Structure 1
Amino acid sequence: MAIVLEFTEIPALETENFHLRGMTLKDAPNMYSFMSDKETMKYITPHPIETVKELEASIKNSLENFKQQKEIPWVIINKQDEQVIGMFRFHKLHTWHQKTEMGVVIHKDFQQKGVMTEILPKILEFGFNTLGLNRMVGDIFADNKGSKKLMEKFGFHKDGILRETDIDGERFYDTVVYSMLKSEYQEGGPMKSRGEISLAD
């Protein structure tokens, strides 16, 4: 049986230090600083966006996908100064198969400071308990040690390696696939050793 997304607006999510709200076109100028940065985007795409207008088109596409129940895009806001410091999205959302993939970009000034360590438990709770998903996936470039460590610390299962899935114009990259099932989440929660987490994200 397919899950049903009963909301017409992107739900807001809260953690102690961060606020996730639905992405809008007005966020494009603030998002541009990290979405266009080649170093920040190196584990996502070798060809980051080059203009605010291009980013606006991408946001429009994400919002259209949300209307079609194929994606849920958020911006990540630092509560201390209300600065947009990243984005997170459920993409390739499939209501019939009850699964999604996760995508995240964090501003370079906020990397390796525990942002995703704080946010991911809320994301998993929302995905499994509120949406009723059965499977959540993180596809990660093999060189992305920080994200791999994050997945493993939260108890994600390493499904395998997809060989040479992407190219940056010169070099091919492998993708490591991690997943968590609802049954696994219910058995142990997102972090079985919350106090032991210390990682780069």
Structure 2
Amino acid sequence: MHDQHLLTEIPTLLTKYYILRSVTIDDTYALFSILSNKNTMRFITANPIRSKEEMHKAIVKSLTKFADRQEIPWVIIDKYSQSLIGQFRLHKLDFWHRKAEMGAVIHEDYQGKGVMTEILKTMIPFVFETLELNRLVGDIFAGNEGSRKLLEKFGFKKEGILRQTDFDGERYHDTIVYSLLAEDFTALGKSIFN
């Protein structure tokens, strides 16, 4: 996609069991129920969303950032139940430097069940083949073993540890930075994404 500036709408991506579609204002309540859950958010932020109004503002902000080509915000829908089960964003998106960071939140009931493995099998090729980015970053709290294993499974390289980046009210958390480059993606081969 040499004309990234022509990305005028958020594309819908399909996996075997899930649909990634554009976030909308109508998703406020469903996202609030996930993003306000302190346990669900324990590896993401010490300060989860506190109100539906705050959630509404966050969605508007994400859609504004999409219009400015700085973010692509999706919600994750279970194909069979049609339930909204999480969100996935490419943020800090920069088409000049050809890089982005990814962020995901999955409903507690769906964690540890392979949702993100399936989504990344579609998302990573989209990032490198369709968007033609060069660098994809995943940064995680040091205690997030599930995400660490997931990133390493898909060939992400550990770049370093940012010490005590977040405070949860009781203690500080380190952030581990992982990245995958276009050349790493090519070296992985297609089989990992089937």
TM-score tier after normalising by the smaller chain length: over 0.9
Corresponding residue for 1:125? 125
Q: How many residues align?
A: 193
Q: Name the CA shift for 1:64/1:16 in 2 (closer, same or farther; >3 Å).
A: same
Q: 1:5 is paired with a residue of what secondary structure? A: helix
Corresponding residue for 1:142? 142
Q: 2:45 is paired with a residue of what secondary structure? A: coil
Q: Identify which range, 65-74 or 41-50, moves more after superposition.
A: 41-50
Q: Kindly provide the CA deviation profile for residues 124-143 of structure 1, in whole angstroms up to 9, marking residues without a partner as x.
A: 01110000100000000000
The CA distance in 2 between the partners of 1:74 and 1:146, in whole Å, is 21
Q: Kindly provide the CA deviation profile for residues 118-169 of structure 1, in whole angstroms up to 9, marking residues without a partner as x.
A: 1101100111000010000000000000000000111111111111111112
Matched letter for residue 78 of structure 1: D
Q: Identify which range, 172-181 or 182-191, moves more after superposition.
A: 182-191
Corresponding residue for 2:154? 154
Q: Kindly provide the CA deviation profile for residues 16-40 of structure 1, in whole angstroms up to 9, marking residues without a partner as x.
A: 0000000001001111111100000
Matched letter for residue 93 of structure 1: L
Q: 1:9 is paired with a residue of what secondary structure? A: coil
The CA distance in 2 between the partners of 1:189 and 1:102, in whole Å, is 21
The CA distance in 2 between the partners of 1:189 and 1:174, in whole Å, is 32
Q: Identify which range, 85-94 or 3-12, moves more after superposition.
A: 3-12
Post-superposition offset of 1:170: 2.3
5+ residue gaps in structure 1? 196-201
Matched letter for residue 22 of structure 1: S
Corresponding residue for 2:47? 47
- What's the TM-score once normalised by structure 2's chain length? 0.95
Corresponding residue for 2:19? 19
Q: Kindly provide the CA deviation profile for residues 57-92 of structure 1, in whole angstroms up to 9, marking residues without a partner as x.
A: 000000000000000000000001110000000000
Corresponding residue for 2:102? 102
The CA distance in 2 between the partners of 1:89 and 1:5, in whole Å, is 18
Matched letter for residue 123 of structure 1: M
| Structure-to-structure mapping, 1:27-106, within 5 angstroms | 27-106=27-106
Q: 1:28 is paired with a residue of what secondary structure? A: helix
Matched letter for residue 42 of structure 2: K
The CA distance in 2 between the partners of 1:151 and 1:191, in whole Å, is 16
Identity %: 51
Matched letter for residue 42 of structure 1: R
Kept in 2: contact 1:76–1:87 (CA 8 A): yes
Kept in 2: contact 1:124–1:190 (CA 8 A): no
5+ residue gaps in structure 2? none
- What's the TM-score once normalised by structure 1's chain length? 0.92
Matched letter for residue 137 of structure 2: V
Kept in 2: contact 1:19–1:77 (CA 8 A): yes
